[in-house]
Amino acid sequence: MKTDSLVIGLSALPGGGKDYVADILSENYGFYKISPGDIIREKLSKMKKGKISREEQQKLQNILRKKYGKDYVMELCLKRIKKLKKDKVAISGIRFPNDIKFFKKQKGIRFYNIFIHAPVKVRFERTMTRKRIDAPESYREFLDGDRNEKRIFNLNETEKNSDFKLENGKNNSIELKKMIKKIIQKTM
């Protein structure tokens, strides 16, 4: 990995727009995208065939953190970043407050975290349209998932530790891209 790689973490509740913002960073600013969630899903798919629920992903992440340490999943991300040797990387799915602290202390990395907000109904609509295997089957299940995410991952604290906040409701993509551009200018 080159010295002073710019790594931007993206945090949000499900459907908040982490992957969409990562896509904008990739397409407009040359960031390479990685996802801790993809790493967890890869590990689960080796252990289990068929549908992998969000709850199973959360449980595995907690098991890995307990067994190998709270930074284990971020260490896997860091390995991937080092292997890629990219100047700019976006991590879609920084969850725990400690994830931010982990990357902030890494030598050769300038790390910033963006916490993305979106209204609950907007996020629910987004999760229903993406047709992922772990998508909720009802609005009630979605709200239960939100409560679990906040509790398990301590997202309120993650938000407090984030460097930037980004609103991603029904903004048009031009406005969202302008907000992202302002953030990028502050990180360069």
CATH number of the domain at 101, please. 3.40.50.300
Phi–psi pair at 3, nearest 5 degrees: -65, 145
Report pLDDT for 75: 93
Rg of the Cα atoms in the chain: 16
Report pLDDT for 50: 65
Report pLDDT for 180: 96
CA distance 95 to 55: 15
- Residue 30 structural domain: 5-187
What confidence tens digit (pLDDT) does each residue in 31-87 have?
Answer: 999 998 888 777 777 776 666 677 777 777 778 888 899 899 899 999 999 888 899
Report pLDDT for 183: 96
Sheet holding 164-167, edge to edge: 32-34, 88-92, 5-11, 109-117, 164-167
Report pLDDT for 94: 95
2 has a pLDDT exceeding 50:
no
CA dihedral sign, ordered 25, 163, 177, 182: negative
| Structural tokens at position 16 | 């908040």
Total structural domains in the chain?
1
What confidence tens digit (pLDDT) does each residue in 112-159 have?
Answer: 999 999 999 999 998 888 777 677 888 999 999 888 888 878 899 999
pTM beyond 0.85: the answer is: yes
Phi–psi pair at 89, nearest 5 degrees: -135, 135
| Structural tokens at position 177 | 């891209």
3 has a pLDDT exceeding 70:
no
Count the helix, strand and coil residues of the chain and give each as a percent rounded to the nearest 5: 55, 15, 30
Report pLDDT for 105: 96
Report pLDDT for 1: 42
Is the backbone of residue 166 left (phi > 0), alpha (psi -120 to 50) or beta?
beta
Mean pLDDT over residues 19-24, rounded? 95
Q: Helices in 51-96 by DSSP H: which ranges?
A: 54-68, 72-84
Report pLDDT for 159: 94
